[in-house]
Structure 1
Amino acid sequence: MEFVSLARAKIQVPRFRRGLVERSELEQQLGHALTNRRLVLLVAPAGYGKTAALSRQLLRLPPGCAFAWLTADEEDDLQRFLAHLVEALEPMDPPWRLAPEALFDLLTQGRLREAAFALASTLEATDTPDRGLIVLDDLHAVADAHVFEFLDHLLNGLPQNWTLAISTRVEPPLALWRWRARREVAEFDETILRFSMTEVQALLRGATGQHDPEQAAQLLDRTQGWAAGLCLSLDASKGAAAPRVHKASLHNRRHLFEYLANEVFQDLPDELQEFLLRCALLPELTVSRCRQISGNPRATELLEDLERRRLFTSVLDSEELTLRLHDLFRDFLEERLRQLHPADVPALLRCAAQGETDPVRRTAMYLRAGAWDEAQQGLIEATPAMLTDDKGAQIMRLVEQFPVDIQAQSPVLAYVRGWCAWPDYQYGAVRSAMAHAAIGFDARERPADAQRARAMQALATLFCGEMEEARRQSQVVRSGAMDLETEALSELLDFWYETRHGPSGGPGEHLARMVDLLARAGSAELWLRCMPRINMVISRPGVSTQIQRLVYGARAAAGEGHWSLQASANLMEAWLFLWQGRLAELRVALQNIEEDSQWLGQPAGLRIRLLTLKIYYQVICDDKDAVRTTRDAIAAHAALLDRGSELALIFLGTIVKTSAAIGDWPTVRMHVPALDHRVGHDNPGMQMVLRCFKAQLALHDGRIGEALTALRELATSSASVDTNSLDATVRTHLALAELADGSPSAAWQALVPLIERVRASGNVGQVLVMGLQTLTELSLAPWGQAAPSEGLAVLRRWVETARSFRAAVQVMPRDEAADDAGLSHRELEVLALLAGGQSNKVIARALDLSPHTVKRHVARILDRLGVDSRMQAAAWYRARHGG
């Protein structure tokens, strides 16, 4: 049997029983509003038929209208709300230009206006020939104020051919005055939604087959046209006198629940009563889940009986019978359950949580049950997948729902907090949280969890610049038993340790072992956690080969989703192209990664790593203005990093290094004192980088002896701790210093190890990033007999390769009409099917892709064609390829 997923249940239009009374006047007004106003509000207490009126009206929309339906619930914060709204829009195949997942990052950063604008822009480009409609049902259930702030922004940017319809029990906290002043809102309150005398008579006639104006008048008087009260009265009157409903107490919750108890619930068979009470804790009622929570093997028959009785239920489309209870009835049942069986509620909530697939709902159920341990365990199990899908903010909101004392004491929640801080490079927070987690796990005799926490603590300590303390912590971890994850993290730490302390081949060996472990662990999140900045060590022996393995493994782990992991893999491969001098592939990769970054909403972590790649590419191209622009962007990003992390130092080093490569010595001179002040003595790698910068300055200033002394000393160990082409920088500038000192033989001897290493590895990029000026100066130097002819030929080839990079920047744009705008073969296949009117899902099936991948292809197609909608893209294709 097929279970109804949370997303499907929330985005399905409820189906109500046939034979509902025609309410032509209401339906005419509502239909006109839905196709002519920006905002339609249905605001009335429970039971006034808001949902039924909207669902009926959707069946009457003109053929060219498209709609999305979302039923809100109490677990909806803004991220969850938006996730399901995106899912509801999917049948329209909206042409996303920004990954829907990237909208969540914007929300996390508080950029609600930008997220709303991105959604509004997508709606505007969506092919809706007549009109588009978004229906938000039960919006009163939402407590997150950010949802309403987002909706205000969305309304501001909502395209003219779109309408937002809201059903709620209370007026939503939106800027309604704005839309009222512009006469762009249509409002339906209880005075409009209540049944008229004519409609009550029709309802009575349909229920009894009799025309009885007097009874209809009594019904109207007692219920004041309240739809739920009318239906209840008519159902109850079938076997007895019509019940008394006091209109003064009609909407009083206590009196209403008394009425439901006396006139509805008590007339049900005992078995059905007990079944309903226990199943009311479920958001949707399916046979399998109802059987699980009620323990009643006759769940199928009882659900069918409930559907026949038409008791405040709507039906959801599924192969398995699935009902949703009206909020009013569910609230009554849950209150009744707590009155009659209070001791059973926690166990029932636990049972409901065990069958829930959505981690947010599952955790919320455990929290309502006071099942703190189960809630924590469920959360930590859900965290890897949620982090890989960029849902760290949702995880943190779940953490904040635990009682304050548990938040303070729980090692699980501490671990989750540290885990969520890792992708944002908040290494100080990671270290503190993981230290707390490790102590707590030890106290609870959970050694494997404590080991993982200590491995993360050690890595965070290393990235806070405390190398020896990190090494000590890692050795403690290695002295005990380790699972695959802990061992992979330990290999990552040893990789970084030997990157800075040697031996030269150590990082490659540890990286090989780490990749082996990642492949065995099979966790996309763990690949993503371990990948950043590995490229810094690309010059070391064996590292390029392992980076290629890392790229292949990460792509396999990402599959057809996990865009952040795919982007990281693409970025890592682009470093290989740069280091190997593969210009054509690098240019394509840079374009693809720029598109990846745009698709993901320019996430800060990916963006700064992309900027680092770009600035080295621009150095090779000798594009000095581009280097300065990118350098400023890197500085702006680095300023936002955790001050307890050494990353800010690394990026400052990149700024100084690239400034020196283009001969911008004032910038080098400005930043070196800041580096000198911040680099600690326990960071030997950065100490060497700093000494290299000072030596370059001395050489530029003509202090040849000072430069020679420093560079000769650095050359004795730069190869064993080579990061970010440190050894190439030391040796090329040592050669220049020796030449300036009149010693061409010593200069050539300084270059020989570098030339041999480049020849053996093919990694010419490590010398290209020295800059065209430095390479040209070396190739034209007065070498005399000191340099062999084949060696000089190598220097000239380096210069020619760098010039080919610069020439590529100056190439005129390609004739897009002749080469299909640079679309790949796969993108042309997607476009051909799109032009044939196929949906994303059909295209995915035809090409054996996931719908998410098709969505990404469509975004690239629109970007490269410079069009806004699928319709325009289809027209472009037909104009060139026929059909």
Structure 2
Amino acid sequence: MVSSLSISCGVLVSQQTSLINRRLLPPRASHGVVNRPRLTMLSQMLTQHRLALVHAPAGSGKTTLLSQWHEALRESGVLAIWYSASEDDRDPLGFADGVIRAVEITVSSSGAAIPSLDQPDALARLVTILSERAAAGPIALFIDDYHLAEGGDGGETINRILSARVSQLTIVLASRHRPSIPIGRLRVSGEMIEVPVEDLRFNEAETENFFKLASSVSLTADESRQMLDYTEGWAAGLRLASLVLTRTPEALAISVPVGSHRAFAEYFLEEVILGLPEAVHTFLSKTSILDTLNASLCNAVTGRDDGNEMLSFLDEAQLFIAALPGTQRWYKYHHLFQEFLQARLYAEARADLSDLHSRAGQWFIENGSPMDAVRHAFLARRPDWAAELIEGYCLYDYLSHGRFETFSRWMQQLPREAREERPLLLFLQIWRSINLRRFPQAEQTLRTIEAAAADPGNRMSNIARSTGLDVAGRLHLMRALIGAYGGDLAAGLDHIRQLEGRELDQLAFGQVDLDSIHSYLAFHKGDLELAERLTWRANGIYDGMACHWGGIHSRCIAAMSYLARGWIGEAEHVIRDTLQVADRNFEQHSYMVALPSALLGIIVYNQGDLAQAERLWLLAIPSEKATDVSGLCERVLIATVGLARLYDMSGRSDEATALLVRASRRAYESEDFRLEFQLAVERADRLFRQGNAAEGRREWERLLLQLPEARRRYPTSSWQIWDPFAVVESRFLSEIGQTEAAVEGLKLVAQAARQQGRVSSELQIGRFIEQLEKAGPSDAGSEHPELKHLLDYYLNPLPTSMAQTVHNANIVRNAGAGMLTQREEDVLELLKWGLSNGDIARRLNINLNTVKTHTKNIFSKLGVKSRTQAVLKTMPND
């Protein structure tokens, strides 16, 4: 189950960041910005291209140009989105997540952010949001300082957006160097605009105009040429020179360094700093540690109360400080100026840096921005404090929004001793390991906690007592979770029994997760009433926290319980609502969408909609390339078994066999014993259903080899394991002439199901008993007409109504019989679902160009010109 904080966890646990996001709007244009039509007029061409790239060294005027373009497009009615990358965007998740926030805040007046999970989810979600919005009009996505993100996630994010070929979307990048994304094809095809450093350099006329606007000193034509020679048209160099000349006009006659921007900058920056009052100089040095500044934050860092006056002075003096838009007065230093100031600070006051960063971190905590506080705690070289801040303030954000990669990066930065003295951080690390099915790693961390907790006088034990953390209870809770995810239900239930009658603490991984995990294990035990009560109690807390992970899990457990009771209508209502939540907040192929999709597939299959059931089950099965298939076993099991049976019904037995083989191999390789065992049961059952008794017996014998381990892991009450096993066993007994024993065994299974209120199982097994006894159809199940085809789950052959449904499906599939090849039919099926060529290529594991060739052949053979025509032509006639 998902782990999360309860409402009462932490001082600021439910407090959202109160600061404006200072990276979602471009800096305001400063005084003296020259309009250079040869560059600014390019804004009129941006929406005609997929990519605009501005790459040049620091101080070349990239941000200024992008700001001018942004304003021009915004005034022309184009949706212009701005995002300034930072060092944080090197995190694999951070960049895509940050861009999503920029898009959402720009588009939505509410300013609500979209929760994001692991990197693939965030990337796909970003593409979806951009595609949906671009359908309403052109979009320009501006990303400043892109070089800060590219070393981490940025390259993949931009590649994914470009590969999606979103219509009416232009990406505008500013970077200190030419990015590594493949731009050659875009350049050749004329789909990009490129502005290199040579184009950003000021020419002679622009230099002369700049000094007229930016300083009180007017240069002659000769002096302009001289300044152009000094600066080589470098924007930052011109700005620096103007600052110096305003104070010391004769400085132009002094010989200055040439041929090196860095040397030139340092020369003039020294001149600028030397001309400032000592108080300003001190203020600049101390506040240079900040990415963005406001008066209150500056006062906290400097220990003074003149932050507002200082910032106003710097703004008016144009000392490389830019005001950020918004109602609050935030500023940022120009990168070049900040780097210069920091170099001086590090050289002059190395011992004071920790104190400055500590003050900044404390201010961010007090003002509701814990992520910034953690960053400054690390910069202050105070890992103990960083660990305390993460544990006390940041867990809600990661548990609710799934920012686990950021948490993992922080954990790697923490020294071992700082990490291992914080029990809540270790429990989060354990949960993450379990979710990724890294059970030995999770158990190793559990043993670390267990050993530390044995000493009541150590730091971890003291922290646990001071925070009210129930370490002993949580050890049982995490091991129950390992049992639930790892397929050892007996072990999971044993640890839940150890917690019987015990209320855990209300911190992360506390009582709400105990209810959630307990509900899942109670469902498997057959105590449906307890499962429903616990899961809905947990769901109320998850919903109150906007923790979508936990809410989806809880609703899915409730729906599984309703299906077991035969309450199809109630289950459908819950699952459709759950799937809407999942679709809004998670990527299409994520586990959180896959689980409710698998369950909804059961419902629409029961209704006879085979095409929809197939689509949902295909969506639930993880791709072949996925390395970590997280979550509950039901996600894969339901979809795989359902698809295999559907394929058999549709005359696609080869596909069913291949699907079961692939899934079984993957279960074996990933050491997922529960999935491996249940798929082995299904393979044996299938062979008997198909009348292949000899192979069925051999599969049964192989299954018996796994039986001792299965009996150890799964108590007799684990009905989802043993009901299907009892059916296979009865088929085997019937084959060897022991039908009476087979029937008697099944009657006991049906009786247990009836006692537990599992109507679906009782009726399904009752129907199968009738088939074994060769009795005529009875009225069993007539009181539950909503179960429809689910009542025939164990039967073979197909009932007449379902056979007719399959026949109609085959009519659609075989449209153009004798013309389409098998692969072309596969492509046609996926075209009907609305998949893109790229999605079809990934689904069928073939080349994109091959998909295009198959599509052309389909159009030609069917005599159509579009996808829509092909789909309509292959629809069955009523």
Relative to the length of structure 1, the TM-score reads 0.70
1:364 and 2:368 matched: no
Q: Which amino acid letter does the alignment assign opposite residue 371 of structure 1?
A: R
Give, in angstroms, the shift of residue 101 of structure 1: 7.0
Q: Does 1:733 align with 2:757?
A: no
Which amino acid letter does the alignment assign opposite residue 192 of structure 1?
D
Q: Is the alpha carbon distance of 1:418 and 1:33 closer, same or farther for their aligned partners in structure 2, counting shifts above 3 Å?
A: same
Partner of 1:457: 479
> Is 1:48 the counterpart of 2:56 in the alignment?
no
Q: Which residue does the alignment assign to 2:540? A: 519
What does the per-residue CA deviation read over 1:266-286, in whole Å, with 9 as the maximum and x for residues that have no partner? 444444444444443333223
Alignment-derived partner of residue 354 in structure 1? 365
What residue is the counterpart of 2:732 in the other structure?
Answer: 697
Q: Partner amino acid for 1:770?
A: Y
* 1:676 pairs with 2:711: no
Task: Summarize the alignment of residues 261-272 of structure 1 with structure 2, pairs less than 5 Å apart.
Answer: 262-272=270-280
| Pair 1:301 & 2:309 matched | yes
Which of 84, 90, 96 does residue 71 from structure 1 map onto? Answer: 84
Note the alpha carbon deviations across 1:267-308, whole angstroms, 9 max, x for none. Answer: 444444444444433332234444444454443333333322
Q: 1:646 aligns with which of 653, 669, 674?
A: 674
Alignment CA distance shift 1:649-1:454 (3 Å): same
Q: Which residue of 2 aligns with 1:325?
A: 333
Q: Does 1:15 align with 2:37?
A: no
Question: Whole-Å Cα distance in 2 between the matches of residues 589 and 374 of structure 1?
Answer: 53
Give 1:358 deviation, angstroms.
6.1
**Would you say the 8 A contact 1:608–1:634 is kept in 2?**
no
Kept in 2, the 8 Å contact 1:388–1:562? The answer is no
Q: Deviations over 1:351-374 (max 9, x none)?
A: 254257566545433332333344
Tell me which moved more, 561-570 or 173-182: 561-570
Q: Report the equivalent of 2:291.
A: 283
Give the corresponding residue for 1:853: none
Instruction: Say if 2:105 is the partner of 1:83.
Output: no
Q: What SS is found at the alignment partner of 1:448?
A: coil
1:417 aligns with 2:432: no
State the AA in 2 paired with 1:512.
R
DSSP-derived class of the 2:247 partner: coil
Shift of 1:44: 2.5
* Cα distance in 1 between the residues matched to 2:653 and 2:705: 25
Q: Is the alpha carbon distance of 1:257 and 1:474 closer, same or farther for their aligned partners in structure 2, counting shifts above 3 Å?
A: farther
Are the counterparts in 1 of residues 287 and 298 from structure 2 also a CA contact under 8 Å? yes
In the TM superposition, residue 75 of structure 1 has moved relative to its aligned partner by: 0.9
Candidates 246, 254, 264, aligned match of 1:238: 246
Partners of 1:667 and 1:368 in 2: CA distance: 66
Pairing 1:401-480 to 2, within 5 Å after superposition: 401-403=413-415, 411-424=423-436, 429-437=441-449, 439-440=451-452, 444-445=460-461, 446=464, 448=469, 450=471, 451-478=473-500
Equivalent-residue separation in structure 2 for 1:455 and 1:606 (angstroms): 16
How many residues align? The count is 758
Could you say which residue in structure 1 is the equivalent of 2:257? 247
**Structure 1 residue 311: Cα displacement:** 1.9
The structure-2 alpha-carbon separation of the partners of 1:810 and 1:80, relative to structure 1 and needing over 3 Å to count, comes to same
- Residues of 2 paired with 1:359 and 1:591: CA distance? 45
Partner of 1:483: 505
Q: Is the 8 A contact 1:570 1:593 kept in 2?
A: no
| Residue of structure 2 equivalent to 1:843 | none
Residues 692 and 711, structure 1, Cα contact 8 Å, conserved in 2: yes
Provide the residue aligned with 2:204 in structure 1: 197
Q: Deviations over 1:820-849 (max 9, x none)?
A: xxxxxxxxxxxxxxxxxxxxxxxxxxxxxx
- Structure 2 contact 435–630 (Cα < 8 Å) conserved: no
State which drifts further: 293-302 or 66-75: 293-302
Once the two structures are TM-superposed, the CA of residue 437 in structure 1 deviates from its matched residue by: 4.5
Tell me the distance in 2 between the aligned counterparts of 1:134 and 1:697: 63
Q: Deviations over 1:562-596 (max 9, x none)?
A: 788995896698589679x7x49x99996997899
Find the partner of 2:230 among 222, 240, 248: 222
User: Deviation per CA, 1:717-741, whole angstroms, max 9, x where unpaired?
Assistant: 565679895544544434444x35x
CA contact (8 A) 1:696 1:733 kept: no
* Aligned counterparts of 2:554 and 2:445: Cα–Cα separation in 1: 19
Deviations 1:104-128 (A, max 9, x none): 55368xxx8x889878866875632
CA shift at 1:55, angstroms? 1.8
Q: Percent identity?
A: 17
Q: 1:489-568 maps to which residues of 2 (within 5 A)?
A: 489-492=513-516, 494-495=518-519, 506-520=527-541, 522-523=544-545, 524=547, 525-530=549-554, 532=556, 537-538=561-562
Unaligned segments of structure 2, at least 5 residues: 1-15, 814-865, 869-878
> What is the CA–CA distance in structure 2 between the aligned matches of 1:561 and 1:107, rounded to whole Å?
9
Separation of aligned partners in 2, 1:76 and 1:356 = 22
Distance between the aligned counterparts of 1:134 and 1:100, measured in 2? 17
How far did residue 247 of structure 1 move?
2.6
1:183 to 1:704, Cα distance in 2 relative to 1, 3 A: closer
- Secondary structure of the corresponding residue to residue 306 of structure 1: helix
Are the aligned partners of 2:52 and 2:172 in contact in 1 as well (CA < 8 Å)? yes
Shift, 1:376, TM fit = 3.5
Shift of residue 319, structure 1, vs aligned partner: 1.3
Question: Does 2:137 correspond to 1:127?
Answer: yes
1:327-368 per-position Cα deviation (integer Å, ceiling 9, x unaligned): 122223334444333342341342254257566545433332
- Equivalent positions of 1:856-867 (< 5 A) are none
After superposition, the C-alpha distances for 1:747-793 in whole angstroms (9 at most, x for unaligned) are: 99xx99xx5xx6888874696143564796xxxxxxxxxxxxxxxxx
Cα deviation for residue 49 of structure 1 reads 1.4
C-alpha distance in 2 between matches for 1:317 and 1:677: 69
Deviation at 1:693, TM superposition (A): 0.8
C-alpha separation between the residues in 1 aligned to 2:48 and 2:563? 63
Structure 1 unmatched runs, 5+: 777-798, 814-867, 873-883
Residue identity matched to 2:176: R
Equivalent residue in structure 2 for 1:148, among 150, 155, 171: 155
Look up the equivalent residue of 1:370 and give its one-letter code. Answer: R
Cα separation, 2, equivalents of 1:767 and 1:188: 63
Which secondary structure state, in structure 1, belongs to the residue aligned with residue 88 of structure 2? Answer: coil
Matches of 1:93 and 1:666, distance apart in 2: 63
Q: Distance in 2 between matches of 1:810 and 1:718?
A: 36
Assess, with a 3 A threshold, how the Cα gap between structure 1 residues 171 and 465 changes in structure 2: closer, same or farther: closer
The answer (yes or no) to whether the contact 1:86–1:100 under 8 Å persists in 2 is yes
Q: What amino acid does structure 2 have at the position aligned with 1:173?
A: S
Greater Cα offset, 471-480 or 223-232: 471-480
Residue pair 2:746, 2:769 contacting (<8 A) in 1 also = yes
In 1, Cα distance between equivalents of 2:313 and 2:582: 46
Question: For residue 704 of structure 1, what is the amino acid of its counterpart?
Answer: T
**Which residue identity lines up with residue 272 of structure 2 in the other structure?**
V
Preserved contact between residue 18 and residue 367 of structure 2 (Cα < 8 Å): no
Over 3 Å counting, the alpha-carbon distance change for 1:671 and 1:311 in structure 2 is: farther
Question: 788, 793, 808: which one pairs with 1:770?
Answer: 793
Greater mean deviation of Cα atoms: 323-332 or 441-450: 441-450
**Contact 1:621/1:809, CA 8 A, preserved across alignment:** no
CA distance in 2 between partners of 1:100 and 1:663 (Å): 52
Letter in 2 for 1:519: G
Provide closer, same or farther for how the CA distance between residues 723 and 52 of structure 1 changes in structure 2, counting only shifts above 3 A.
same
Q: Distance in 1 between matches of 2:439 and 2:417?
A: 24
Distance 1:432 1:662 in 2: 46
| Superposed CA offset, 1:677-721 (max 9, x none) | 334221233356434312123325654255346446656656567
**Greater CA deviation, 484-493 or 334-343?**
484-493
> Considering only aligned residues, what root-mean-square deviation do their CA atoms show, in Å?
5.3
Relative to structure 1, the CA distance from residue 142 to residue 433 in structure 2 (aligned partners, 3 Å threshold; closer, same or farther) is same
Q: Match of 1:309, as an amino acid?
A: A
